[in-house]
Copies of this chain bind each other. A is one copy, B any other.
Amino acid sequence: MDDAVREEILDGTYRALCAHGYADLTIQDIAAETDRSKSLVHYYFESKGELIDAFLTYLYDRYTDYIGEERGETTRENLTSLLERLLDGDDSERLRTALLEVKAQAPYDESIREHLVEFDAALFERLRELVAAGVESGEFDAAVDPSRTAECLTAAVHGARTQRTALGRRRYHADETLTEYVDTYLVADGGREAAH
């Protein structure tokens, strides 16, 4: 099989998910996004399940690159810019809706579940790494526990993204709230002590 064609089909899957969502997605929709025939898509991926499996691997590579980007000068800036991008990013609303549908299928589908565990672990590990780097450099308070803090932040990011997708608007200013959390509770000599 030709890796370039495979990649082209996965690019088409990305566009088709943005256009049609997950539940109604057909191989025909994907073929239409690639200018390739339906039978060629079937040649590469025998079932929708196999295609979604490959697509989640494809998405995972992009996700780890995305969360690994360092857009700030300091660890605090790298952390808050990551939280802002995750919570208020310009990723397609339809793709987020499609991924919520995929997530709702996870309890029934072990392959999807395994992929989602990897996404989750990658985000947790990236957040833990950033918090630990901030503690190490003295930017964050020495009493901050990187693992516990990363667990809280991972849960809050998942919750804020899910609610935003499901409720169709940003119920809270989650990006501002988590930035304030970082400034108040993590940054050494931050807001809380200033209040004393």
Chain A positions within 8 Å of B, measured between CB atoms, are: 93, 97, 100-101, 103-104, 106-107, 113, 116-117, 120, 124, 141-143, 148, 151-152, 154-163, 165-168, 171-174, 177-178, 180-181, 185, 191-193, 195-196
Q: Are A168 and B106 in contact, with the CB atoms below 8 A?
A: yes
Known: A106-B168, A113-B168, A151-B177. 15 other contacts (CB 8 A): A93-B107, A97-B104, A100-B103, A103-B104, A107-B165, A113-B166, A116-B166, A148-B177, A148-B180, A148-B181, A152-B152, A158-B163, A159-B160, A159-B161, A193-B193
Q: Are B167 and A116 in contact, with the CB atoms below 8 A?
A: yes
Q: Which residues of B contact A97 (CB under 8 A)?
A: 104, 107
Q: Which residues of B contact A157 (CB under 8 A)?
A: 155, 159
Least Cβ distance of A131 to chain B in Å? Answer: 13
Q: How far is the CA of A185 from the CA of B149 in the complex (A)?
A: 11
The 8 closest A-B pairs by CB, nearest first: A159-B159, A158-B159, A143-B195, A104-B104, A155-B159, A106-B166, A155-B156, A155-B160
